[in-house]
Amino acid sequence: MAPTIVVEKDGLLPSYTSAPRKSLSPLRATIYLALALVCTCSALWSLDLPELLHGGLSESEDVSAADLCPQPSALAPSKHAAFWETLNETYATDDFASRAVEWLGGAIRVPTQSFDKMGPIGTDHRWDAFGPFHDYILSSFPNVHATLALTKVNTYGLIYEWKGSDDSLKPLLLAAHQDVVPVNPDTVDEWTHPPFSGHFDGELLWGRGTSDDKNGLIGILSTVETLIENGFKPTRSVVLAFGFDEETSGLFGAAKLADYLLENFGENAFAMLVDEGGKLPWPLEHPCKVECILGDYMIEHGKAFATPGIAEKGYLDVRVEVESPGGHSSVPPPHTTIGILSALLVHFEANPYTPRLGRGTPIYQKSLCLAAHAPGLPLDLRRALQNAVKSDKALRAAEKLLFQDRMFKSLVGTTQAIDLIQGGVKTNALPESAWAVVNHRIATDSSLDEVKEHDTNLLKDLASEFNLSYTAFGEDITGQDKPAYGKLRLSDAWGAGLTPAPITPTDKDAAPYQLLAGTIRATYNAHRGGDDVVVSPGIMSGNTDTRYYWKLTPHIFRYNHHYTGNSTLFQDIHTVNEFIAVDAYIEMIKFFTILILNADESTSL
């Protein structure tokens, strides 16, 4: 009887058994044993022994932390070294802290709320709130207004130009927005301190705008005011762009500022752009299962990480509209328009987009930085990410582990959320139309066309099942000759679809990223001591004013060095009790100072 290979019931460990009926000659036994060993080795090879021993994740020996997530050295000013040291000493004084608190606190005390569906400037009087804010910054920053050229665009948009001595150098562009999200009147009593009080309790400054985004705007103006007071005159021009409706998509503010900048400076005219950075539009799940990825500058897995946004997801609101004959509700059809729409929406939610962690995407880069530098990262995830550089199997294993966190999974892929629905006008009348809006945030490695195609194909079978003529984004899909019971139409709800932002270069030859990363590390060193902060690419979960600035420079960073530690994780953003630690705010001013000085003396931008 020939020898057999028996696989245990668990399917893992093959074993050799010989025939029991008669003894074998030594030669035949040797041959059989050799055959069995060959078969056994082949079986083990096919089962991937390293995968069995390490859960599919073998230790990578040839991928170093420097390879996974290279870190530039801290970049402190050299030409302006003595000047910076003097300023750093000034920033450490109680007098400057008091001044900084008053600058930002005063700005908070001037409400600048922007609301959805506001009318044009001059017709909607809610815009008038920005006039007093302009008066405030004029009186608070006299040197800025005496030195920089100010242009007002569409009444309330602000462009400041600080002219440098060398016109051959591309300017540095710093951006922020003047507006804040409205305070819900029903929540005023829930605030520890009134939302527009600018109250300082000795450690924290409270009020709407302290974290989003008057801290950035006033931080920039405070920096420039201080530089001028101390005699600094730039070689490289610095331009400041302050919109006033970022919280409502920037149609009146940043969109008009972009037109002005393009007309007066030209395409690709700026060395780099730094705008506000990561913040959360919804609360995080606590504790984060894998990571808390969106903070500008925070503690992740026991290590300080700074995450400048180098991309933004795209955006599309798809209107799903159904029409069918009306009539009296006492004689209903099998499915009303609302019923049909409901079936379509259930089908949407039953078929979500499948996210994939793609190499080269910002979130993939951030994951590699965690694998390289986060001491608290689980070992199996670290090994998977180390091997993911070359192994598709390891990449999928890392993806599976990372996608346990809903926030991380949402950041990677295209998302869908049914946020609006409407249909019917009376209880005894069949609804002639019903519609809903599905909001999509488009993955950085996807596109508007891909999302439109996905949604169009998703509803084809149901359109046929309900006998609906079907048009999607202006194209006739069904092309049927027979009469249809009703109509199904997909469209861009507001005509405001946005493709994912271009990804900012971060390789070793990308001088703007290297300068920014070095500046972040130098700021950490100057303010907190040591050089123990990791700089990693990241993305914004939403869209900032930079959506209008893509033509101005390929080097766009969404970051303002707002340190959050590991406490609030931005849970105060867009809700009650918004605040900022004054120590973090002063560190932000140091960041803008070093950034301006580094850019001024750079020969590689």
Q: What are phi and psi of 312, to 5 degrees?
A: -135, 145
Identify which of 280, 120, 108, 317 has the alpha carbon closest to the alpha carbon of residue 200.
108
Bridge pairing between strands 556-558 and 272-275: parallel
Q: Is there a contact between 449 and 466 (Cβ–Cβ < 8 Å)?
A: no
Round to whole Å and give the CA distance between 45 and 38.
10
Residue type, 234: P
Q: Taking a C-beta distance cutoff of 8 angstroms, is the pair 243, 157 a contact?
A: yes
Integer Cα distance of 384 and 368 in angstroms: 10
- Residue pair 156/221 in contact by the 8 Å Cβ criterion: no
Pairing relation of β-strands 14-17 and 4-7? antiparallel
Q: Which of 111, 282, 105 is nearest to 182 (CA)?
A: 111
Sort strands 533-535 and 303-306 into parallel, antiparallel or unpaired.
parallel
Most distant pair of Cα atoms in the chain: their distance: 106
The answer to whether 77 and 84 have CB atoms below 8 angstroms apart is: yes
Concatenate the DSSP letters of all residues of 421-452 into one string. Answer: EEE-S-TTEE-SEEEEEEEEEE-TT--HHHHH
- Amino acid, single-letter form, for residue 54: H
Whether the Cβ atoms of residue 348 and residue 440 lie closer than 8 Å to each other: no
Pick the closest to residue 538 from 312, 375, 285 (CA basis).
312
Query: What are the strands, taking DSSP E only, across 200-312?
Result: 204-206, 238-243, 272-275, 297-300, 303-306, 309-312
**CA 245, CA 253: separation in Å to the nearest integer?**
6
Q: Are strands 538-540 and 309-312 parallel, antiparallel or unpaired?
A: parallel
Nearest to 5, CA basis, from 31, 51, 34, 43: 43
Backbone angles phi, psi at 460, to 5 degrees: -60, -50
Q: Which of 179, 276, 455, 600 is catalytic?
A: 179
How many C-beta atoms lie closer than 10 Å to residue 483's C-beta?
7
Catalytic: 229? Answer: no
Cβ contact 548:256 at 8 Å: no
225, 246, 296, 578: which one is catalytic? 246
Distance CA 261, CA 552 (A): 8
59 catalytic per annotation? no
Report the amino acid identity of residue 127: W
Span between the terminal Cα atoms of the chain, in Å: 78
Q: Between 582-601 and 94-108, two packed helices, what is the crossing angle to 10 degrees?
A: 100
Catalytic residue IDs: 179, 246
